[in-house]
Amino acid sequence: MAVNAKARSAGRGVRPKDVKRQTEEEEGEDIRAEQIEDFYREQAEAKKPKPVRYDPPQDYNISMLRETWPSLPVGEMARTSSVLEKLSWMSNRFPNGYEPPHELAKRLFEGKRVLFTSEEEKVQVMEEVKKMAQERADKLSQRKGDLVEPEDASFMSISMEERKALIESLVQGKYPTLEPLPAGKPSVVGDVLRNLRNNETYRTAGKSSQFLAKLESLLASGQRSKRA
């Protein structure tokens, strides 16, 4: 019995030390893990770009440029880029895109707008247009039993009025004014007409008139319900 009591007392004396040592090791590991996380967090924060207040100087040079500043053309380059962007959009061409000559020739032959990126591309496209015109003339000749000359594929200069209209719309930003509303029309119709004019998706035949007819019918039904 004495031996067993001594063994039990010895065992009770050892266990608390082991638990304490294990607890201290776990706490040390937690502290090291937190220190590592703090280190990586500080490194990530240091790599984040810091905002730079824009204070325009009198004279610019390359050393003053910042990566966070927007890259926008200014001056004559801005106007040229804006006009080129509009012309590309009107001719369904995308920046840095490639259109094969026969596709551009097909558009031009169908009477659609085409923007040439270079004089070389223009020459190639016009050669394809002449081939298409000759093929069409050959088919008509076989159908009619008589010789049909190919259509003229050369360009014709636009009139001064058309040139002025293009410059006003593409460069100067001038658009035709709306006609005054008829008497009795609510002012909201004028706002709708202005928005429809500026929205390219509604410039198809009959689409704007259908929309306006529906709008006016809804406005009329609303007025009748108020009177009732």
Domain definitions of the chain by residue range: 1-46, 75-173, 177-220
Lowest mean pLDDT among 32-41, 67-76, 129-138, 148-157: 67-76
Is the model's pTM score more than 0.75?
A: no
Give pLDDT, residue 4.
Answer: 53
Q: Where are the alpha helices (DSSP H) in 66-146?
A: 76-90, 101-109, 119-144
DSSP state of 205: T
Percent of the chain at pLDDT exceeding 70: 68
> What count of residues does the chain have?
228
Section 17-33 average pLDDT: 71
DSSP state of 202: G
User: What DSSP line would sit under 131-153, residue for residue?
Assistant: HHHHHHHHHHHHHHTS--PPPP-
pLDDT in tens, 75-92: 666 667 777 777 787 788
Q: Which of 155, 157, 156, 175 is CA-nearest to residue 165? A: 175
How confident is the prediction for the chain on average, in pLDDT? 75
Q: Where are the beta strands (DSSP E) in the chain?
A: none
**Is the dihedral angle over the CA atoms 37, 40, 42, 44 positive or is it negative?**
negative
pLDDT in tens, 179-213: 776 666 777 777 777 777 766 566 666 677 777 78
Lowest mean pLDDT among 59-63, 135-139, 193-197: 59-63
CA 163, distance to chain mean position in Å, is 28
